[in-house]
Amino acid sequence: MKRKAPFYVCPACGLSVRPEDLQVAFDRSKREIDSVRVSREEDEYDKKKKRQKDYLKWWTSDKK
């Protein structure tokens, strides 16, 4: 993007944004990415706990 006065202008499509708008969009996308990462980590944690629970159940059963 080329910088003109208080705007950034994309030479390919002509999109123009103010630096403040660009920062707001960047912050919003960063929050969304972080929330997805946290939910994925929680899912992996839950899967691990379930595997541990199933293994313990199998280990203590009589049908080994």
Per-domain boundaries in the chain: 2-60
Q: Give the 3-state secondary structure of 21-40.
A: HHHHHHHHHHHHHHHHHHHH
The Cα–Cα gap between 10 and 22 comes to 12
pTM, two decimals, is 0.50
Cα pseudo-dihedral 31, 8, 21, 30, rounded to 10: 0
| Between 52 and 63, the higher pLDDT residue | 52
Task: Give the model confidence (pLDDT) of 13-56 as tens digits.
Answer: 988 899 899 899 999 999 998 888 888 888 888 999 999 999 99
